[in-house]
Each structure stands twice: as C-alpha cells, then as structure tokens.
Amino acid sequence: MAGMKSALVEQQLIAATQIIEQQLDSEIERLDNLDSEDLDAIRRDRLAAMKKRQQKKQEWIANGHGDYGELYDEKEFFEVTKKSDNVVCHFYREQFVRCKIVDKHFQILARNHIETKFCKINAEKAPFLAERLKIRVLPTICLIKEGKTKDFIIGFADLGNCDDFTTEVMEWRIARADVIEYSGDLLSMPSFNKKGGQHMDVQRKKTIRGGRRDDDSDSDSDY
C-alpha cells in the first residue's frame, strides 16, 4: 500500500514538472518570436509603469510618507486615513519604555516602506479614538487599509514576546495585515531576537478583525 502511494506521488511530481517545463518552453518560444514592435510595446509598458510608480511616490511623499511623524489630535488621524491607503498608527504614552522601542523600529520602517504612512498618536490626547478602537494596552499598533481597520498589534505578544525583537520581525507582523509591500514568507517569523537565529513557524493566521485577542501579554502596560 505504501509503495502504491509512493508511486502515485512520484507520478504527480513528474506530471507537475512536465507542466512547468511546457510553460517555460512556451514562454521562451513566445519571447524568441517577438518582433521589434512587440519589444517596443513591452518597453513602453514598462516605462509607463515606472512613471506611474514615480508619480505615486511623489504623492506619498506629499502626504508625509517616508517620515515617522506624530498626529496631534483625532481629527488629524481621520485626515491621514482618508489621504493614505495604507496607515500604521502607534498609540503610545510618553513614559512607557515599550512605546519607545516601537518608535525605534518605526523610524526605520517608515523610510523603507514609503508606500505606507507610519505615524503615532498619544492615547491620552485621543480618548474618543482610544475608546472607539477599544485600546486597553499600550503600545497598540493600528493597521489600516483604505480607511478600514484590518488588525491590531497589541503589546509584544506577536513579536516574540520580548523587547529585543528585530525590525524584520515588526515588518513581518505588519505585513500580515497587507498594509506594506512585503516579499518574505508570511507564515514564518524571522529571527525574533538579536542574539539567536531561532525561527518560529506560524501554523495559524491571526484573525483579521474585528475583535480583541485574549492572550495579550501581561507585561505590557494597561492604558
């Protein structure tokens, strides 16, 4: 029985390999048969895409992307979420050490992900917003796409539950809400502290919500 299963798997792998080879052969043949007009059309399309991307970059910069800035009131928060499709907002209090750790990582990520607006707001100065979003623990990071809240990062429980996680871990966790451009493996957390090379596989996807998690870290500060 085991031998039959093994043979079946082998046949499926061979069939899949043949399909991939056929697709590659067809693509190579298509490229070989392109004439000068086809090549010119490809160049024009690529140039148009590059120009469009450059225009978007200029628009992002005009909206404050590329810098990690502070929002001073709730009105400014809503204005930002209207202007920018992708927003990552850190709710903080000045005296909380873990909020300063978030600041350090966001200074880097804001520069690396110009497609997304990184910002922060003092939770004490935004009581209506904090109540509306049910923010009870700081730091809390609100991940917003096209004006809708997709997810929250509450404390450091999703970041290895330690204070010395890498910027790559923060980047990975934010990427799971699809609010930044990311080319890595969303199911596998990068090395989650600076001393070790340990990786953590994520078997379940965090619920995009909605609701509040029940396993928030007790070491984070209550708001």
Q: What is the pLDDT of residues 98-126, one digit of tens each?
A: 999 999 999 999 999 999 999 999 999 99
pLDDT of residue 205: 40
| Sign of the C-alpha dihedral computed for residues 135, 178, 214 and 195 taken in this order | negative
pLDDT of residue 64: 94
Report d(CA 26, CA 120) in Å as an integer. 50
Highest mean pLDDT among 26-40, 121-135, 209-223 belongs to 121-135
Q: Which domains does the chain have, with CATH numbers?
A: 10-60 (no CATH), 66-211 (3.40.30.10)
Say whether pLDDT at 71 is over 70.
yes
Alpha helices (runs of H) in the chain, residue ranges in sequence order: 2-32, 36-62, 74-83, 97-112, 127-132, 167-175
C-alpha closest to that of 165 among 198, 141, 140, 142: 198
Which residues make Cβ contacts (< 8 Å) with residue 146, sequence separation at least 6?
85
Name the residue with higher pLDDT: 218 or 167: 167
Alpha helices (runs of H) in 127-209, residue ranges in sequence order: 127-132, 167-175
Over range 51-65, report the average pLDDT: 90
Average pLDDT value for the chain? 83
Say whether pLDDT at 85 is over 70.
yes
Name the residue with higher pLDDT: 138 or 210: 138
Name the residue with higher pLDDT: 101 or 32: 101
C-alpha closest to that of 73 among 126, 123, 143, 149: 126
Cα-to-chain-centroid distance, residue 157: 17
Stretch among 20-34, 64-78, 184-198, 199-213 having the lowest mean pLDDT: 199-213
pLDDT band at 51 (very low <50, low <70, confident <90, very high): confident
- Kindly report the pTM of this predicted structure: 0.71
pLDDT tens for 150-172 read 999 999 999 999 999 999 999 99
Alpha helices (runs of H) in 93-202, residue ranges in sequence order: 97-112, 127-132, 167-175
Report d(CA 102, CA 84) in Å as an integer. 21
pLDDT of residue 197: 43
